[in-house]
Amino acid sequence: MAAWPLLRRLAHGALASALSLTASLALAAGTATGTATERDPARWVNPFIGTDGTGHVTPAAAVPFGMVMPGPDHADRGWSFASGYQWRAPQVLGFSNTHISGAGIPELGDVLLMPVQGEPWGPDTASFAAAPDKAREAASPGHYTVRLPAHGVTVELTATPKVALHRYRFDRGGTVQVLVDLQHGLHFVDGPRVTRADAQVDAARGEVHGTVWSRNWVEREASFVLRFDRPVARVQTVAPRPGELAPRWLLSFDLGPARVLHARVALSTVDVAGARANLATADGLGFDAARAQARRDWNALLGRLQLDAPPREKRILYSALYRSLVHPSEIADADGRVRGAAGRVIAAPGGRYYSTLSLWDTFRGVHPLLTLVAPERVAGIVQTMLAHHAEMGYLPLWTAWGRETHTMIGNPALPVIAEAVAKGLHRPTPGLGRGFDAAAALRAMVETSTRERPGAPPWAQRGWAELDRHGYLPFDRVPGESVSLTAELGIGDDAVARVARALGDEATATHFAQRATGWRHLWDAQTQQLRGKDSQGRWREPFDPLVPTSPMNNPGDYTEANAWQYTPTPALHDVAGFIHVLGGEAALEAWLDRFFAAPSLGTNKFLGQEALIGQYAHGNEPSHHIAWLYAFTARPDKGHALLRRIAREFYGDGPDGLIGNDDCGQMGAWRVLAALGLYPVMPSRGEWVLAPPLVRQARLVVPGQPVLVLQGGDAVPAGAVPRLDGRALSPRGTPHAELLRGGVLRWH
């Protein structure tokens, strides 16, 4: 996702202990093929990858799917600081406790803290920022630290699933100060974000608690409890800036001869009592113990992928897998309460409720990857979607802090649900939980695909009447992105049809399968592109397939892409149909050859034009499946070569190792799946397109499932085909269930 939602909104005025799985991952140290078990995969993770440039990654301390992510904020607004962090930024504003990593819009950044030696600040102090010592900045899974020389302090951060822990090591004892800034947040819109605040300092207990209401990307409330390990000696209130409604306090502490101050923060979507209960989940857990537990949790999850690869490749892959497992975030309180999408307090289904659902990005790679490495999470994510539907009347698009942002297009929750059904994850299964009600899911999918979204802004309505009348969305009847919308809605319609057919509802399946072909109305055989058409059936003129568009430069028919890049979108659900309109497999190969060779108009990060190979733009999601389409031609080796090139050129192991937003792990998920030689070109089918793995060997070791070994690397001969324990597999679509049988997948 690039910048268009930001401009669009402006234009419109606006783990619990279950994560510890180390016992179940106790395995033999090797296999028949000689790959050693990776005992500390977290050591290969570099959380700074993607922090320099447009990756929008934060190195904040995280646990898998955690509610909190304490980390540094270098600025509080601007597209470059969507996560609050940029590697080259010259100053740190402070350390807030909630973040979204890799997205294109700033949000969260709750309860900013900033420590300083002595007592230099007063009510009229204008700036509390400090320059970081980059040589003494470090991050690893579950831990972040940096030295602030001018403030005489080294900051360390770690986390549990619901609690952020801070440790400040000062140069000397005596008096120190901590700024507690409740006005701070990562700003999507200009002006103060806080609409109301109710907070108090309990100096004797060393505690600050309260609730802050805000309006930014979403309208939300965040309750919190902040507790220090010693009483507050003095409280000063910083003078508010124009329009500010939340306090900024300077808290002074007398450390005596000691030099360390601890703080811990818990939040709640519900109330202060919920935050206090969340804080209690870490009672008795010291900083070092929490850091060690976070490391164990990460090793348990990362260790499900065991790699035989060079060190640099391990750094890239484990870091990519790490970023794919930070979100979505569990935001339910310890007692199972959560404030749902409509702002009402509800009981989280199964006690879990997931947010930071960047679905337009993540249905393509992250969610399919979860079905491989963390299948126990999938049903809970779908249950959250169904709870969202119960509150809002439609399934989610993109959620932050549990609230709907109405960002991006299509119905991207639908292929996630269809994939889960196709892979059998709706059924109650030992080790995977109670599943979900597939019939209820189908009802939610149908309603989402036929009803206007109640109370949603104009761009988030979907024009069903126009789609039913014309079979496509005419550019003169919708506010923009008509081609992209038609193509993306087809993915959702196909998903509905597949779930309906799986449940025996043939009438619904037939209706939505037919509607899923609407993209064919926009196929221009002369240009071999998907092209805008008006309500009278006239093509968009003038037409230049090289020009990328989005709402920031409408009139335009495409979303952060051009005609070239959106034309293969129907292949995400209808490869056969795409091949048919082109004229056969040879024609598909020729089209792809032109696509990867056609000249571009150059890089434009705001329109998704990054990481370019011809018209291929790996920096944004519409291109992510296209190199895999060579599997449906007589020359799959062309695709294999492109996968190696994309992996080599657009991923690195340093801060600049990503080109394009990581999008809550989607860029990372693509890299992991490419290394495994698996990709869900049509995720709703529950199948994998296969390619030779980019590593010598990978083992998927998931509790309760047979081990799957994938062998590849540069030694794979030309013309090789995949075989699983000797059984030939279809590289164009191998069922997920086939891989779950385990065994050794070789190309020969």
Domain annotation for the chain: domains and CATH numbers: 60-302 (2.70.98.10)
Count Cα atoms within 13 angstroms, Cβ side, for 239.
Answer: 9
Give the total residue count for the chain. Answer: 748
Mean pLDDT of 656-681: 97
Mean pLDDT of 291-311: 98
597 pLDDT higher than 50: yes
Contacts of 153 (CB under 8 A, 6+ apart): 115, 116, 117, 147, 168, 169, 170, 171, 176
DSSP state of 470: H
- Phi, psi values for residue 56, rounded to 5°: 60, 35
pLDDT of residue 26: 31
What residue has token string 């990593």? 101
Q: Identify the band that residue 1 occupies on the pLDDT scale cut at 50, 70 and 90.
A: low
> Taking every pair of C-alpha atoms in the chain, what is the biggest distance, in angstroms?
81
Q: Identify the band that residue 27 occupies on the pLDDT scale cut at 50, 70 and 90.
A: very low
Question: pTM here?
Answer: 0.95
The answer to whether 176 and 118 have CB atoms below 8 angstroms apart is: yes
Judged by DSSP in three states, 74 sits in coil
Looking at the DSSP assignment, which residues form a beta bridge with residue 138? Answer: 145
Mean pLDDT of 342-362: 97
Strands of 457-585 (E only): list them: 523-524, 529-530
CA distance 619 to 502: 35
Mean pLDDT of 561-566: 98
Q: What H or E segment, with its residue span, contains residue 382?
A: helix 378-392
CA distance 705 to 617: 36
Q: For residue 555, is the peptide bond before it cis, meaning its omega torsion is within 30 degrees of 0?
A: yes
Question: If you average pLDDT over every residue of the chain, what do you get?
Answer: 94
CA angle 721, 588, 582 (to 5 degrees): 145
16 pLDDT higher than 80: no
Which residue has better confidence, 694 or 31? 694
CA distance 265 to 267: 7
Structure tokens at 726: 């000797």
* CA neighbor of 79 nearest in space, from 607, 742, 656, 632: 607
What residue has token string 């037919």? 514
CB neighbourhood size of 152 (10 A):
19
CA angle 632, 634, 640 (to 5 degrees): 70
Looking at the DSSP assignment, which residues form a beta bridge with residue 71? Answer: 96
Q: For residue 542, is the peptide bond before it cis, meaning its omega torsion is within 30 degrees of 0?
A: yes
The answer to whether 677 and 691 have CB atoms below 8 angstroms apart is: yes
Note the pLDDT tens digit of each residue in 439-497.
999 999 999 999 999 888 887 877 899 999 999 999 999 989 999 999 999 999 999 99
CA distance 713 to 676: 10
Which residue type sits at 2? A
2 pLDDT higher than 90: no
CB neighbourhood size of 625 (10 A):
22
* CA neighbor of 625 nearest in space, from 659, 658, 648, 595: 595
Q: How many separate helices (H) and strands (E) can be counted in the chain?
A: 18, 34
The answer to whether 363 and 683 have CB atoms below 8 angstroms apart is: yes
Q: Identify the band that residue 21 occupies on the pLDDT scale cut at 50, 70 and 90.
A: very low
CA distance 151 to 95: 14
Note the pLDDT tens digit of each residue in 206-253.
999 999 999 999 999 999 999 999 999 999 999 999 999 999 999 999
- Phi, psi values for residue 340, rounded to 5°: -80, -170
- Angle formed by the axes of helices 413-422 and 378-392, to 10°? 140
Contacts of 669 (CB under 8 A, 6+ apart): 320, 324, 362, 365, 366, 368, 369
pLDDT of residue 553: 65
The answer to whether 74 and 100 have CB atoms below 8 angstroms apart is: no
37 pLDDT higher than 80: no
